[in-house]
């Protein structure tokens, strides 16, 4: 299991090319599993369920992508977490729903370590906070031959106005927020990374841990 933190901003096409190569190597037993932490320059991505009408204004480059979900935004101040795991080795019976539940749980525990209560919402993808019912983290995954990639995007301190060019994840009735906004101060990216690392084992490495039925 390897952790990689990229400095600077990684272009989306370069990130996808890297993930696809790494996924193939993991499946063939040539590379270790990987959690990759990075930031992208401002851009929008369209998942496999994206609706044309949810792209309101192409303010930034738009990329079609094979991950699940609809439109989302990536940009500076957002911690993107690409998770490449061999689900066939990790699960006795590979279960994508369980894996997504684990990504959600990992995000919730990491936010809790930073003093923020993140929650699931029935019928809505992602992690939500507060009475404002605002999304703080988006989740979208792809699995190839039972190796996962893509993953999570946590809003640490991005420019939230950049989300206005899309209907994030196809949900019109609720907004987006960030760690900086909900905590009342500037959130540090290295603190987020530390929380993610600290909370990983309790969800993904604990043999006694399983998703709720």
Q: What is the pLDDT of residue 24?
A: 97
Whether 169 is catalytic: yes
- CA atoms within 13 Å, Cβ hemisphere of 45: 26
Which residues are within 8 A (CB) of 120 and not within 5 positions of it... i.e. 6 or more apart?
104, 108, 127, 128
Answer yes or no: are the C-beta atoms of 117 and 129 closer than 8 Å: yes
What is the spatial distance between Cα 206 and Cα 128, in angstroms, rounded to a whole number?
A: 25
Question: Quick one: average pLDDT of 160-171?
Answer: 82
DSSP 8-state assignment for residue 86: B
Q: Tell me which of 156 and 47 has the higher pLDDT.
A: 156
Q: What is the pLDDT of residue 109?
A: 98
Domains of the chain with bracketed CATH: 2-205 (3.30.930.10)
CA of 139: how far to CAs of 30, 69, 70, 123, 207, in Å? 27, 8, 10, 14, 24
Q: What is the pLDDT of residue 171?
A: 59
CA of 64: how far to CAs of 49, 78, 140, in Å? 10, 19, 13
Lowest mean pLDDT among 31-40, 124-133, 157-166: 124-133
User: Considering 16, 169, 195, 203, which one is annotated as catalytic?
Assistant: 169
Q: What is the pLDDT of residue 116?
A: 94
Closest by CA to 102, choosing from 20, 206, 2, is 206
């Amino acid at each position: 299991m390897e952790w990689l933190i990229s400095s600077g901003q990684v272009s989306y096409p370069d990130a996808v090319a890297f993930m696809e190569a790494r996924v193939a190597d993991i499946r063939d037993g040539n590379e270790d599993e990987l959690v990759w932490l990075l930031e992208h320059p401002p851009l929008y991505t369209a998942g496999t369920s994206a609706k044309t009408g949810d792209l309101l204004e192409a303010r930034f480059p738009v990329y079609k992508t094979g991950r699940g979900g609809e439109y989302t935004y990536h940009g500076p101040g957002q911690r993107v977490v690409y998770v490449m795991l061999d689900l066939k080795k990790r699960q006795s019976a590979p279960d994508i729903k369980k894996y997504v539940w684990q990504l959600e749980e990992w995000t919730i525990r990491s936010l809790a370590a930073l003093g923020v209560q993140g929650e699931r919402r029935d019928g809505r993808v992602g992690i939500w906070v507060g009475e404002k019912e605002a999304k703080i983290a988006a989740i979208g995954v792809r699995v190839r031959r039972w190796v996962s990639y893509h993953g999570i995007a946590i809003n640490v301190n991005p420019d939230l106005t950049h989300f206005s060019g899309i209907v994030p994840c196809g949900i019109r009735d609720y907004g987006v927020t960030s760690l900086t906004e909900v905590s009342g101060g500037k959130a540090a990216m290295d603190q987020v990374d530390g929380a993610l690392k600290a909370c990983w084992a309790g969800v993904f490495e604990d043999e006694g841990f399983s998703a709720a039925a």
